[in-house]
């Protein structure tokens, strides 16, 4: 079990959190802000699978509670929740301690860096301090809360979408076999944090997958790890062969890929950092395509055990 994560990381991180709290204008109750923001995030996680849902739920709670919304208030609420993060993470495997410590350091630095607090940063930080995400390199692994009756409609819609794509891209037998294998369980999800793109490399991705495997070893209620991105597109092997590892690692580990609908945001991500991909796109030789990666729990754990043993067995789901 994970214990004393934050107490072992006192100092700069704690000072950063209190500095962010002291920047807020007007009355501000640290305990109430922590429980309110965390509660909003955990409730929405049972009903909505969009990453931006954490931002929306947190903003709605802050606006309803304080009658306003600004970056200083957002940062203060995140900092308040971070002070109590250790308690919310006690059910996580101790092998994830180093990732959580890194998350504390990065978060405290980000909250005191100044400048605008972007929506993408805020939604990832909200999930982290709510105990619903584990940072790892350039990626964040979003951790679903334990399943409940409230989450059944969301899980059912996800499962139906996977079966629909599977039938459309393979056959009915494959789709039925898939739902028989994973059911309507929650999935852990993978998202890039563009604040830490320096870690967006093969070594960092392998570390992220290993962190996900440790997490899934402790959560048999989770079907596996999923992600949806332009960098799982097989055509990337021709346009950017240096990024082949982004698909190949998971593919070699036995994961499944299904095409998703074209996402304008993913198209922008695919083109913004690469002149060669932009030129290929303008010439009609490359169209960024969003592809879903589904790595089932058993196959991910098998992949990780062949690289190094996954030390943690089943634990109680995080509260």
Position with higher pLDDT, 110 vs 198: 110
Position with higher pLDDT, 172 vs 300: 300
In-domain check, residue 285: yes
pLDDT of 190 reads 94
The domain boundary, picked from 110, 130, 165, lies at 110
pLDDT digits (tens, 9 = 90+) for 285-297: 888 888 989 999 9
- Looking at the structure of the chain, the number of domains it has is 2
Identify which of 7-16, 147-156, 205-214, 299-308 has the greatest average pLDDT. Answer: 205-214
In-domain check, residue 132: no
Say if residue 159 is in the same domain as residue 94.
Answer: no
Say if residue 179 is in the same domain as residue 268.
Answer: yes
Say if residue 106 is in the same domain as residue 178.
Answer: no
pLDDT digits (tens, 9 = 90+) for 59-109: 999 999 999 999 999 999 999 999 988 888 887 888 888 888 889 999 999
In-domain check, residue 283: yes
Average pLDDT of the chain, as a whole number: 85
Q: Are 113 and 71 in contact (CB under 8 A)?
A: no
In-domain check, residue 289: yes
Query: What letter does residue 67 receive in the DSSP assignment?
Result: S
Q: Reduced to 3 states, what is the DSSP secondary structure of residue 118?
A: coil
pLDDT digits (tens, 9 = 90+) for 86-95: 888 887 888 8
The domain boundary, picked from 110, 139, 167, lies at 110
pLDDT digits (tens, 9 = 90+) for 156-189: 887 777 777 777 777 777 777 777 778 888 899 9
Position with higher pLDDT, 22 vs 259: 22
**pTM of the model as a whole:** 0.85
Q: Are 256 and 175 in contact (CB under 8 A)?
A: no
pLDDT of 10 reads 55
User: What token pair was written down for 190?
Assistant: 């993978």
In-domain check, residue 317: no
pLDDT above 90 covers a percentage of the chain that reads 44
CB under 8 Å to 163, separation ≥6 — which residues? 175, 176, 178, 179
pLDDT digits (tens, 9 = 90+) for 191-235: 999 898 888 899 989 999 999 999 999 999 999 999 988 889 888
Q: 60: domain range?
A: 7-110
Q: Are 221 and 312 in contact (CB under 8 A)?
A: no
The domain boundary, picked from 84, 110, 136, lies at 110
Q: How far apart are CA 178 and CA 248, in angstroms?
A: 21
In-domain check, residue 182: yes
Distance from CA of residue 317 to its chain's centroid?
17
Say if residue 177 is in the same domain as residue 242.
Answer: yes
């Amino acid at each position: 079990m994970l214990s004393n994560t934050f107490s072992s990381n006192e100092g700069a991180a704690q000072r950063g959190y209190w500095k962010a709290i002291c920047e807020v204008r007007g009355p501000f109750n640290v305990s109430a802000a922590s429980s309110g923001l965390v509660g909003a995030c955990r409730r929405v996680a049972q009903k909505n699978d969009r990453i931006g849902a954490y931002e929306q739920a947190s903003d709605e709670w802050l606006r309803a509670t304080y009658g306003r919304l600004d970056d200083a208030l957002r940062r203060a609420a995140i900092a308040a929740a971070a002070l109590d993060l250790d308690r919310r993470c006690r059910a996580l495997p101790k092998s994830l301690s180093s990732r959580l410590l890194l998350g504390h350091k990065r978060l405290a630095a980000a909250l005191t860096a100044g400048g605008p607090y972007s929506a993408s940063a805020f939604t990832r930080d909200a999930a982290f301090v709510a105990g619903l995400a584990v940072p790892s390199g350039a990626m964040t692994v979003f951790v679903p809360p334990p399943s409940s009756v409230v989450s059944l409609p969301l899980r059912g819609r996800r499962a139906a979408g996977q079966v629909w794509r599977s039938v459309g891209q393979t056959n009915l037998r494959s789709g039925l076999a898939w739902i028989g294998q994973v059911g309507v369980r929650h999935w852990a999800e993978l998202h890039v944090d563009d604040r830490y793109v320096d870690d967006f490399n093969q070594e960092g991705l392998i570390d992220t997958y290993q962190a996900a495997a440790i997490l899934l070893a402790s959560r048999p209620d989770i079907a596996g790890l999923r992600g949806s991105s332009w960098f799982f597109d097989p055509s990337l092997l021709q346009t950017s062969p240096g990024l082949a590892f982004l698909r190949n690692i998971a593919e070699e580990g036995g994961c499944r890929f299904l095409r998703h609908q074209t996402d304008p945001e993913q198209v922008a991500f695919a083109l913004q950092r690469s002149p060669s991909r932009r030129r290929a796109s303008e010439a009609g030789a490359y169209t960024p395509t969003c592809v879903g990666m589904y790595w089932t729990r058993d196959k991910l754990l098998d992949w990780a055990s062949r690289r190094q043993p996954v030390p943690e067995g089943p634990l109680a789901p995080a509260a």
